[in-house]
Structure 1
Amino acid sequence: DSNIVERAIRPQAIVRKNSLFAGNAGGGRTWATLSTLIQSAKMNEVDPLAWLTQTLERIAAGWPSSEIDALMPWNFKK
C-alpha cells in the first residue's frame, strides 16, 4: 500500500501542476522550482524560510559550487 507516500508527495505534485497556469513558461518554471524547494524543506522537517535565507546568503557570499550538496535541506543545521 503506497497511500502514505502518495499523501506525502501530493502537495508538491499539485503545486507543480498548478504552475502550468502561471502566465508564461518562465513563470511556471520559477514557480515549480520554488515550490519544490519549499516542499523539500518541509519534507525534511526544516523551516523553509530559515533554510532558504541561509542558503541564498551563502550562495551570494560565493559558496563554492563543488560543495552545493552541503546546502540541501537534509544537511541544514537547526
Structure 2
Amino acid sequence: MIQKQLYFNNNMRQLIKSCKLGRDWKKNRNFHSYKAVQEDAKILVQPMHDSETRELSFKKNSNVLIQDGLLRFHSKDIKNNF
C-alpha cells in the first residue's frame, strides 16, 4: 500500500525515497521538470514508507516534476495503476 498519496485537481503528488527515469525522458527548461519523448516512458519509484520499487508508465508528451522528494504528474498521463 502506498502511503502519503495525495490528489489535487487531477494532479498527483507522491512522496518518494528514490526515483530513476528511463531513457525516454527529456529534461525541460525547468531544472526539475521532464517530458516523455516516447510512449510508455518508464520511471522506477520507491515511495516513502514502502520498501518496494514500482515501475510507472507514462503516455508520450507527459510532464513530471521531481523536486524535494516529491514526484508530481497529471493523473491522465499515467498508463498503469500503482
Q: TM over 0.5, yes or no?
A: no
Structure with more relative contact order (C-alpha pairs < 8 Å, separation 6 or more): 2
Larger Rg: 1
Q: Is the strand fraction higher in 1 or 2?
A: 2
TM-score by length of structure 1 reads 0.27
Q: Is the helix fraction higher in 1 or 2?
A: 1
TM-score by length of structure 2 reads 0.26
